[in-house]
A = this chain, B = another copy of it.
């Protein structure tokens, strides 16, 4: 909700302060101008809108104070120190050091006066950028409905006219940074329900549950590690040989580790959430990422219980068995993928929007592999240079064919193969490991262990022994 409020305010500011704003940003900039007259008009439009703000704006806005504690606009321009330039004669005389001039405009003067000031006579050939910055204060009344206290905001708005490219096109950026501040003087009457306590109690309850689960799982892991140590010693003593690595790993239940991570995340996330509610913190993103990821892990954890049924187990085992092969294959394919990514970025970067920066190239190629946006990618290449055009065709056809027809098919071959293997194992029995042989021989000692363990891990973890039984040696 806070994010949406900031977002809507930014859109409203763009409509108020940018002349001819169409409602959608053009690219990373909001709009662009091409003539000197338009630049002046855009600047003075913003200035005059700021002056009349109270009579225009629909929001609950007021003027805020600058960094220098003054109310008003601050206009800065950057330009090369001095210079004369005659493009017709290809003559250039310029000092490449950059100068920055600023002026503070308060509300006392009329915009007409500003227009006539010499500051606003811009020399475009050496101008680098004009920056108009001002602070506005606002109150988010929306929160009254759901929570007690409305938030006060300080918006640090900056309009930047960027002429660094000197290409005849000035890009206008609008940047609005919103800071939440505690309102100084709040006086709210009327009947509002104060049910935040219940939410708080619920949060605390979640934390307690997770803490319990965390402790129990950690205890199980610790016990398992101890058991492993005893087993290793015993095995070494009795059979005079070391237990293989895969067997050693079986003592550690992967699901428990998942639960521990998930619990940790939930606890930290919930604490963050309570702090945000109490207005001590504003780190929404981290909190939502922690809680979101823990939710994902909880759902994934449910799969464990499905694994107790024979029929479901095949599928889980297949996925487990094929995972290392798939990852290994991904490493190979990843090399070619990376090669294509870099190659595309270097060659097609200047001619194609989707190849402008490395991560976009990676995303674009990833989409292509999965059959998305193919025609658009083909069509967007600008036909400026025939050489690049030909290269792009070769590049795209070869990449798509290679990945879709060979690599994706190979994935299917890998998974089908794993599935067949697992199915055969289920019919004929899994190949036995040292550990399992040992377990068969002496199950009496184990049973004692199981009894105590089962009691301890009752909240979030099912019986250890049971899950150990269905672990398979992934070869």
Contact = CB atoms under 8 A, between A and B. Distances in A.
A228 to B, nearest CB: 26
A164 B142 contact: yes
A139 B126 CA distance: 11
A111 interface: no
Nearest to A59: B168
A373 B374 CA distance: 8
B366 A397 contact: yes
A24 to B, nearest CB: 10
Contact of A163 (B5, B55, B58): B58
Given A190-B95, A375-B364, A90 B412 contact: no
A187 interface: yes
Contacts of A393: 359
Contact of A184 (B90, B192, B296): B90
A55 B81 contact: no
Given A9-B168, A372-B371, A299 B163 contact: no
A50 interface: no
A335 B302 CA distance: 7
Contacts of A364: 375
B168 A13 contact: yes
Given A374-B372, A375-B373, A342 B416 contact: no
Given A302-B335, A412-B412, 12 more contacts: A16-B35, A58-B124, A91-B185, A92-B186, A97-B191, A292-B345, A298-B339, A299-B338, A318-B410, A363-B378, A366-B374, A414-B419
A318 to B, nearest CB: 6
Nearest to A342: B295
Nearest to A57: B168
Nearest to A84: B187
A276 interface: no
Contact of A167 (B12, B316, B387): B12
Nearest to A293: B343
A12 B169 contact: yes
A278 interface: no
B58 A87 contact: no
A370 interface: yes
A371 B299 CA distance: 24
A300 interface: yes
Interface in A350-399: 350-351, 354, 359-360, 363-364, 366-367, 370-376, 378-379, 385, 387-388, 391, 393, 397
